[in-house]
Structure 1
């Protein structure tokens, strides 16, 4: 198998794939519309993998790979495409996962996202979260809201990412993008330093730990607009997950802080369309006084009921969004059921 990294990346671009996978001893796969497709004639040898990784991995990341057994970085392909890359070990061998980062930051409208996200981006302070499984467009959604601010407000935007994904061209706003491991040691350190950098908007690539969550909440409480992502299924689980990270004796205080600082949560899935491509299905939670009370009282499990009864206020469940996609002929009922969190509610809507 004599194909090169370039050959496989060109296939990703030509076939509008989202991901590219290399593993020693296995075929090379790409992901198209949520399905893995084999693009190599045979399996990847160690020598071929070494050649691919030599092209991929920056010299300064080699030591981190040896010490941590995995490493994240971004890769620019001839100015045509950028990828978020994770190289990792398995059974003493190496594998790599490359996620394509679209060259253009798409707008909220172009992505087919609800207008409520423009409202979220219009806030001057507080916290807005995009949540959902890996690979379902959370970073793209955050980027669209940031681009809305960039195009409409003279703000100072700081992004803290691992690695930097979308590249923003400053428009009305000033944009400074910082990469963990390159420009700062960690998310918590960058967030603490952000207080001294006069930001209006701060993007936290992912809230992975207590320190990061606490620092982000502090920024949101002190007059800044914070955007971030979490790997959670829906809004109520997101709130519980953030609170559960803290020791029991701190949790009530964190509930109070979140109740005051949260502005909105969008939970999303990229769902295969009947005619190819993927459609976005979303749950939208706006933080109303009723929702703030539920958060303070530790009743996040009741938030789903609020969303179901607050359609006129711009909220929607994932199932409502899926039902709309079925009604418009974009996705099948079978697909909708596969992605629904509450199949009974979906059945009632179809």
Structure 2
């Protein structure tokens, strides 16, 4: 296995890098605290990248890479870390993007998450959505919430991921983790199957399409606790995105179903901490109260933002309130403003 590449991955983990980029003809590049930093070593050859990929890809993955010219997977280097990997071909050859996944799943308390997230994990049914752009910490938050259930309740938890990121050991709960393209065809197929597998909790890596969203809503509506993610920027945008996926003649029905089954939308970003080389989550949290249910049913999602402002007694918060609280606890630099984040 390529020593330069493996040593770079070890170096990246030691320096708290979130991502590592290997590219033909270039030295490795790390993303640390959101910024790209070039590693001061020689450039990587295409042959090194090909040999490195060959060392950890199985035969099916090698074939997929030939057919699709890009592939997603996860890999565990026991003495280094676990990584989500994307391998892709481009003009100058081959590239790999590694996203670091710590072996240890941090608790909600260790992540300094608001108490409402712990309360949400104690619910028995409904839909909880984590939203935000790529690299905003959604997977870490989801893993912490699932881990809280695993530590405290005897539930059957099924995760459907692309690829599997955090590995959940069996604790109080029975957990089955399934990976798209390896254990199942796609999210929708696995969700449909999951409903026949006696689940209590279902985690869907991402709600990307109409079929997956339909099954996720059905699962939440029929007595399961469902977690998923979307690449939306706010709670109101998330509600609109779900409804707008459906044909216009179905949208009123979906508003009614979503109003009844949604528990919360948690939108997040990562910002640098004040006292250490790490980042912390800035969160907007929408809790589905009776007032919010009415807004969703009546198609008045433009009024959700004002409800967020006044819903702190239910655990709701805006990004602005979240930033203010982080500053009060000296967790982020005092000079940072929302305009610096968005």
Question: TM-score, normalised to structure 1's length?
Answer: 0.93
Q: 1:135 Cα deviation (Å)?
A: 0.8
Q: Which residue of 2 aligns with 1:69?
A: 69
CA contact (8 A) 1:267 1:284 kept: yes
> In the alignment, is residue 213 of structure 1 matched against residue 216 of structure 2?
no
> In the alignment, is residue 13 of structure 1 matched against residue 13 of structure 2?
yes
Map 1:286-305 → 2, pairs under 5 A: 286-305=287-306
Q: 1:52 Cα deviation (Å)?
A: 2.5
Q: Which residue of 2 aligns with 1:346?
A: none
**Aligned residue-pair number:** 340
Q: Which residue of 1 aligns with 2:43?
A: 43
Q: Which residue of 1 aligns with 2:176?
A: 176
Rate the CA distance shift 1:338–1:96 in 2: closer, same or farther, 3 A: farther
Q: Which residue of 2 aligns with 1:157?
A: 157
Q: Which residue of 2 aligns with 1:102?
A: 102
> Secondary structure of 2:236's match?
helix
Q: 1:88 Cα deviation (Å)?
A: 1.4
Map 1:129-144 → 2, pairs under 5 A: 129-144=129-144
Q: 1:107 Cα deviation (Å)?
A: 1.0
Q: 1:247 Cα deviation (Å)?
A: 1.5
Q: 1:255 Cα deviation (Å)?
A: 1.0
- In 2: Cα distance, 1:118 partner to 1:331 partner: 23
- In 2: Cα distance, 1:151 partner to 1:49 partner: 40
- In 2: Cα distance, 1:134 partner to 1:340 partner: 14
- In 2: Cα distance, 1:79 partner to 1:256 partner: 50
Q: 1:339 Cα deviation (Å)?
A: 4.7
Deviations 1:295-321 (A, max 9, x none): 111111211110111112211001111
Q: 1:265 Cα deviation (Å)?
A: 1.1
Q: Which residue of 2 aligns with 1:347?
A: none
Map 1:175-214 → 2, pairs under 5 A: 175-214=175-214
Deviations 1:175-201 (A, max 9, x none): 111111111111101000111100000
> In the alignment, is residue 25 of structure 1 matched against residue 25 of structure 2?
yes
Q: 1:59 Cα deviation (Å)?
A: 2.4
Rate the CA distance shift 1:99–1:340 in 2: closer, same or farther, 3 A: closer
- In 1: Cα distance, 2:80 partner to 2:9 partner: 10
Which structure 1 residue ranges, 4+ long, deviate > 6 Å from structure 2? none
> Secondary structure of 2:254's match?
helix
Q: Which residue of 1 aligns with 2:52?
A: 52
- In 2: Cα distance, 1:232 partner to 1:204 partner: 16
Question: TM-score, normalised to structure 2's length?
Answer: 0.95
- In 2: Cα distance, 1:98 partner to 1:230 partner: 21
CA contact (8 A) 1:272 1:335 kept: no
Q: 1:78 Cα deviation (Å)?
A: 3.0
Q: 1:133 Cα deviation (Å)?
A: 1.1
- In 2: Cα distance, 1:8 partner to 1:168 partner: 26
